[in-house]
């Protein structure tokens, strides 16, 4: 379901279909960390998140990493959010992912805005973004040799994380 390519040292996978309020109000995505390299100076350069529909790799991977205004994402090593051409403050609890971990993204959309929550191994970590657009494309990006992830679940219309933390519907 994902299209992959590279640019500016990053490997990016975009979901072939956009998600929007026309489909459902809830989307659950799970990404398994198959391999996380320990030989890189910064071995955790994996970003998960959402981008605007129709984004190109040139737009997603400019000269400076993934610093672009069309991404709502989180670096898993540092826990920093990225959006609007800058790295934002660290989201507490979103870091320390290792080989074998699962990354969960719960996207909840209302009529005119959406939110993204992040989960680690099924446990709530943080509400990462609020007031996002309501039509987006899920994406994963990584840099560094040896890093590999697999999208294991993409579920439309169901919150598969409900009941584990009291933070979701």
Per-residue pLDDT of the chain (169 residues; tens, 9 = 90+): 444 444 446 677 777 778 888 888 999 999 888 887 666 555 456 778 888 787 765 555 544 444 456 677 777 777 777 776 555 666 666 667 788 989 899 999 988 889 999 898 998 988 888 888 888 888 887 776 677 888 888 899 999 998 755 444 4
Q: What DSSP assignment string belongs to 49-117? A: EEE-TT--HHHHS-SSTT--TTEEEEETTT-EEEETTEEEEE-TT-----TT-EEEEEEEE-SS-EEEE
Q: Could you tell me the pTM of the whole model?
A: 0.79
CA–CA gap between residue 10 and residue 21 (Å, rounded): 30
C-alpha count within 13 angstroms, C-beta hemisphere, residue 114: 26
């Amino acid at each position: 379901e994902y299209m992959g390519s590279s640019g500016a040292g990053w490997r990016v996978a975009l979901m072939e279909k956009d998600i929007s309020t026309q489909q459902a109000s809830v989307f659950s995505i799970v990404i398994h960390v198959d391999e996380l390299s320990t030989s890189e100076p910064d071995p955790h350069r994996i970003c998960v998140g959402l981008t605007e529909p129709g984004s190109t790799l040139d737009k997603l991977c400019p000269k400076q990493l993934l610093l672009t205004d069309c991404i709502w994402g989180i670096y898993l090593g540092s826990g920093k959010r990225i959006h609007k051409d800058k790295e934002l403050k660290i989201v507490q609890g979103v870091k320390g992912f290792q080989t074998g971990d699962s990354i969960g993204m719960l996207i909840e959309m209302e009529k005119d805005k959406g939110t993204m929550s992040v989960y680690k191994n099924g446990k709530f970590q943080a509400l990462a973004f609020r007031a996002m657009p309501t039509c987006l494309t899920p994406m994963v990006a990584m840099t560094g040799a040896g890093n590999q992830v697999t999208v294991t679940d993409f579920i439309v219309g169901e919150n598969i994380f409900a009941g584990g933390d009291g933070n979701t519907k």
